[in-house]
Amino acid sequence: MASVYDLLFTLEAITAAGAGFRSLTEAVDTTTAAGRLMTQTLGAFAEFERAMNGLAHARSAGRLLGRRPSLTAPQRAEIIAKAESGQGSPSQLASLFRVSRSTVQRVLREHRESQLTKAKPTLSKP
């Protein structure tokens, strides 16, 4: 699979040999500034598309992408338990678990929202 680097390297080699590249199917002519710009733009879009496909494939394969959670599940449960029993404010809990106050508030908000979702009665169709 060729990358933008490979494409540009090949086109640079063609230019260094004193030749130009002209596509017969697309309006690309590397002997002009506009043609070189078009070539680089097309290459950038192709590489972007490959990257997005790679991310989608990784997600579908079950890989977790992004930053690791700053709290483990037991730590989240402990924060919820301490907050519900009044054993600390969000600021105090944040200091205790070495995370930001907003992280603690997000844990508590997500917990409240999950409790509301569980408590909502669902209407069944007869």
With 70 as the cut, is the pLDDT of residue 125 above it? no
With 80 as the cut, is the pLDDT of residue 110 above it? yes
pLDDT of 48 reads: 87
How far lies 115's CA from each of 61, 82, 109, 118, 120, in Å?
Answer: 30, 17, 10, 5, 9
Residue of higher predicted confidence among 111 and 42: 111
With 70 as the cut, is the pLDDT of residue 122 above it? no
| Per-residue H/E/C for the chain | CCCHHHHHHHHHHHHHCCCCCECCCCCCECCCHHHHHHHHHHHHHHHHHHHHHHHHHHHHCCCCCCCCCCCCHHHHHHHHHHHHCCCCCHHHHHHHHCCCHHHHHHHHHHHHHHHHHHHCCCCCCC
Are the CB atoms for 39 and 28 separated by under 8 Å?
Answer: yes
Write down the domain spans for the chain: 4-60, 73-119
Give the model confidence (pLDDT) of 32-41 as tens digits: 888 878 778 8
pTM of the model: 0.49
Phi, psi of 29 (to 5 degrees): -140, 105
pLDDT of 45 reads: 83
- Once rounded to an integer, what is the mean pLDDT over residues 78-96? 94
> What is the longest distance spanned by two Cα atoms in the chain?
78
**1 falls in which pLDDT band (50, 70, 90)?**
low
Give the model confidence (pLDDT) of 8-33 as tens digits: 778 888 888 988 888 788 777 888 88
